[in-house]
Amino acid sequence: MTGWLDALERLAGSRAKAGLTRQLRPRPADDFVVDLAGNDYLGLSAHPAVVGASAEALRAYGLGATGSRLVRGSTEAHAALESDLAAWLGAPAALVFSSGYLANLAAVRGLSAVADLVVSDAYNHASLIDGCKISGQRTVVAPHNDPAAVAAILDAHPGATAVVVTESVFSVDGDLAPLPALHEVTSARGALLLVDDAHAVGILGPRGAGAVAAAGLAGHPDVIVTATLSKSLGGAGGVVSAPRQFIDHLVDTGRTFIYDTALPPAVVAGVAAAIRVAAAADDRRDVLLTRGVHTVARLTAAGFEVAPPAAGVLSVLAPGPEAAVAWAADCRDRGVAVGCFRPPSTPDGTSRLRLTLNAGVSDEDFTRALDVIVECAP
């Protein structure tokens, strides 16, 4: 009866030998490490306006939403947030989910009702990959950031109704997708373009409206945008912004919307406040830009190859998974949190430290953190 547990033990042993064991490290509320690992790019998770709005909604609504969105989980706060998101992102309509992961699953699967071919960038996030799998449609993986390859794939499937799926700023390497070129390819062939704007919303574009807005594609009827509310907005949840007909389709058919308990109203209200702050936070975006330039210069001078960040993500190559783990652990022991990315989060044979810029970190702490990263390098 325990054979399956023995099998799991063998799999765990194989992961350990490959340096792919992962650990949970609970942090206290008064954790004083310099955070270059989380995604609170604008430092809004503890902003007084955000916390205040969340606390007010907590008192008004209680802890949870008490049900799914179609039962009792839709509050006036949810409706207001969806209106705010649509206006900010420049879309006709928006629908909020309890996570960005679920928003991506719903969006990709929802498009399978009108598309029978999915073209997915090779470096897409796991949520997009899983969305492709559950869509039930043919999926072709395209070389990373290669519009010509996407065009060739679409041309090789004449008669197919296709959706091209990409991130805007990629979550591991931090590079920017060529969105105008991709849209040129898709629009010329009658295909849809789905963009996960998770790492660009709040950072790029007018008033931080994201990479899709920066590319001049906001509101196009053949462009669907997803994002998380847990990165630059410092909260939780996800959003799909799209033409009203697609939003209505997701309300009627989206399993990760219909059967999931709604995002708590306190989080919803906090995110709405974060949007108001983020839309006016050009000063914080300037801090991120300056720190990105400084980080590349500091690490390059130390002998690392680091590409200039498109937004708030930088990737530093590590010799291997064990070295990446040790490097991140040494940094943590010296009070600096950095991301450690190994397969399957990265392509096989590659591992990285991922640094995320944070406007909420003081200049002194940020400079010290870069020194620690250099000094702890394997």
- Two tokens at 224? 């669907």
3-class SS of residue 163: strand
* Alpha carbon separation from 230 to 147, 297, 298, 324 (Å, rounded): 29, 29, 29, 25
In this prediction, residues 137-152 reach a mean pLDDT of 98
Say if residues 122 and 141 touch (Cβ distance below 8 Å).
Answer: yes
pLDDT digits (tens, 9 = 90+) for 271-290: 999 999 999 999 999 999 99
Which residues fall within 8 angstroms of residue 79, CB to CB, at 6 or more apart? none
Measured between alpha carbons, how far is 101 from 127 in angstroms, rounded to an integer?
A: 5
The percent of the chain in helix, strand and coil, each rounded to the nearest 5, is 45, 15, 40
DSSP E strand stretches across the chain? 34-36, 93-97, 117-121, 138-142, 162-167, 192-196, 223-228, 238-242, 313-318, 336-341, 351-356
Residue 31 pLDDT level (bands cut at 50, 70, 90)? confident
Residue 319 pLDDT greater than 90, yes or no: no
* Torsions phi, psi for 333 (to 5 deg): -65, -25
pLDDT tens figures, 85-113: 999 999 999 999 999 999 999 999 999 99
Q: Is the dihedral of CA 86, 187, 176, 131 positive or negative?
A: positive
Question: What's the CA gap between 248 and 232, in Å, rounded?
Answer: 27
Per-residue model confidence as pLDDT tens digits over 231-272: 999 999 999 999 999 999 999 999 999 999 999 999 999 999
Token digits of residue 238 = 């996800």
Query: What is the pLDDT at residue 23?
Result: 84
Please state which of the ranges 3-17, 70-84, 106-120, 138-152 shows the lowest mean pLDDT: 3-17
| pLDDT recorded at residue 317 | 85
Q: Specify the pairing of strand 238-242 against strand 117-121.
A: unpaired
pTM, 2 dp: 0.94
- CA–CA gap between residue 280 and residue 362 (Å, rounded): 20
DSSP symbol at 307: P
* CA dist 372 → 27, 236, 316, 354 (Å): 20, 30, 14, 14
Query: Before 344, cis peptide (omega within 30)?
Result: yes
Q: How far apart are CA 268 and CA 209, in angstroms?
A: 18
Taking the CA atoms of residue 279, residue 281, residue 285 and residue 290 in that order, the dihedral angle to the nearest 10 degrees is 170
Kindly state the average pLDDT of the residues 150-157. 98
Q: How far apart are CA 246 and CA 192, in angstroms?
A: 12
Q: What is the mean pLDDT of residues 331-359?
A: 83
| Residue 159 CB neighbours (<10 A) | 6
Q: What is the pLDDT of residue 345?
A: 59
Examine the pLDDT at 126 and tell me if it is beyond 90: yes
3-state SS, 20-39, equals: CCCCCCCCCCCCCCEEECCC
Q: How confident is the model at residue 352 (pLDDT cuts 50, 70, 90)?
A: confident
Report the pLDDT value the prediction gives residue 344, as an integer from 0 to 100.
67
pLDDT band at 1 (very low <50, low <70, confident <90, very high): low
The mean per-residue pLDDT over the stretch 297-321 comes to 90
